Chains A and B, each alone.
Chain A
Amino acid sequence: GAVVSQHPSWVICKSGTSVKIECRSLDFQATTMFWYRQFPKQSLMLMATSNEGSKATYEQGVEKDKFLINHASLTLSTLTVTSAHPEDSSFYICSASFGTRYEQYFGPGTRLTVT
């Protein structure tokens, strides 16, 4: 149980376009979802925390107008990278948790390449 999926697993887009990444909890209702980005050979950096039905809380230094997060239901959160630039190329990973549990369940990640 506690499976989290992401779609797409990889995407290539042109500079200036927007890309949407989906994160779904398949067998549980996720009250909280987290979005991370990871550059090559680096650790995961938390971008934002989203709770179902409310606005996401962004970490310092993360532009909320560039990385739009929507947590419309208990099983789906989306991250939209707007006006993508090559420096946005990264591995984006979501995780989900339920209730007040500490445990987070991670998705497989989405590789974004902006050309």
Chain B
Amino acid sequence: GESVGLHLPTLSVQEGDNSIINCAYSNSASDYFIWYKQESGKGPQFIIDIRSNMDKRQGQRVTVLLNKTVKHLSLQIAATQPGDSAVYFCAVSSHTGGFKTIFGAGTRPFVKA
């Protein structure tokens, strides 16, 4: 089955620096990719998504990059702030899989002041 994994379970970032969180997926049929942020005791919060016909998408302070050749996805957070501390999950979905979303393991950036 589909597997989704983040490269590092934790990430140390200096406040104001850019953060990069990486994710690898296994199913080449995946065609929709999402990044979520989850704060303790809450449900996932949508950050940004990208479809398989794109390789880059930008939002407010966030950028998602998709490399389908190597099945790799990354989230870049510009000017990381203490409020960005949460667990970040990448997730993948495919219309051939009934739109089921498979979540990766999660990464928590630790923002140093």
Chain A residues in contact with chain B, CB under 8 A? 4, 6, 32, 34, 36, 42-46, 49, 57, 91, 93, 95, 97, 100, 102-109, 111
Contacts and interface: CB of A to CB of B under 8 A. Distances in A.
Contacts of B103: 36, 43-46
Interface residues of B, number: 21
A13 B45 CA distance: 28
Contact of B105 (A43, A46, A95, A109): A43
Contacts of B104: 43
B100 interface: yes
B99 A100 contact: yes
A97 B99 CA distance: 9
Contact of A106 (B43, B95, B99, B105): B43
Given A93-B43, A108-B42, A49 B89 contact: no
